[in-house]
Every structure is written in structure tokens, then in C-alpha cells.
Structure 1
Amino acid sequence: MEPDDPLLRILACPLDKGPLTLLLPEDALYNPRLRRRYPIVDGIPQLLPSSGVRVSDEEHTRLIRRITP
């Protein structure tokens, strides 16, 4: 998945239905509101609620610095 992929505009978090941010090179989607990371496996986003992993406070801070311009 690439940052300009039109699919990113329609993908939503399965828990809060909000937008997700693409994390590269990790190949993951991130919901900063819930601090959950969803993996992308073989190009397919794994968006089941059970697939999301809660990230630590330190990891969240690091990710926010990366995705905030």
C-alpha cells in the first residue's frame, strides 16, 4: 500500500469508524485516537478489532511526531 492509494480514503478503524494513517515502512495502519496499530499483510489491511494492537505511550508519542507535519 502506498500513501497515495485511494483505498486509504475509505478505510476506517473498525472500533471508532474514524480515519487511519498509513505507517511506512512498518506496513501498518494507525488510529491515533485509540492508539491502535493494524497490520498490513501481503498488501491486505487486517482491520478486525482483534487484529489491532494497542501501542505504548512512548510509541504513540513517536508515531505522532512522525505523522504530524
Structure 2
Amino acid sequence: MRLDDLLLKILACPFDKGPLILVTAEDGTETALYNPRLRLRYPVLDGIPQLLPSCGEPVSQEEHEELLERERGVQG
């Protein structure tokens, strides 16, 4: 199940209320929503974003750069 583009536009990080980036696996499934400003990843389980503050997982600098590079590739 793909997150609707309209839904993605209204979802926000529970901490800074800013936009999130949809992270997809190589097979095209949504795996997480990512806040690059705070370097927090929120899982998407069975198509449902887990946006509680306690669900935010910090990512390393290396993973942060990888996620941003992947996003640049998607935007073309």
C-alpha cells in the first residue's frame, strides 16, 4: 500500500512540525518517514506511519547522508 501523496503533504514530524521524506526500500515498499532536520526516522508499519514522538529513531551521519542522496535521486 502506497502512502497517498496528499497524505504525505499533511503529515509532519511531531517535534518540529516540518515535512517528512518518504523512505522506500528497493522493492518499492514504504519503510519509514524521515525528518532530515532532526535526523529522526519514523517507521511505517502495514502502511500506517508511526508518528508518536517515542517512535522516532535517530540515524547516524552516514545513514543521514545516504537517505538524502536517495531522496535527491528520486527527485531527479
Where in structure 1 do 4 or more consecutive aligned residues deviate above 2 Å?
A: 1-5
C-alpha distance in structure 1 between counterparts of 2:3 and 2:43, whole Å: 15
C-alpha distance in structure 2 between counterparts of 1:53 and 1:9, whole Å: 21
Once the two structures are superposed, the pairs formed by residues 1-69 of structure 1 within 5 Å of their partners are 1-2=1-2, 5-25=5-25, 27-68=31-72, 69=76
C-alpha distance in structure 1 between counterparts of 2:2 and 2:8, whole Å: 9
TM-score (norm 1): 0.90
TM-score (norm 2): 0.82
Structure 2: runs of 5 or more not aligned: none
Which structure features the higher share of helix residues?
A: 2
Name the amino acid aligned to 2:20.
L
Give the CA deviation at 1:2: 2.8
Aligned residues: 69
Structure 1: runs of 5 or more not aligned: none
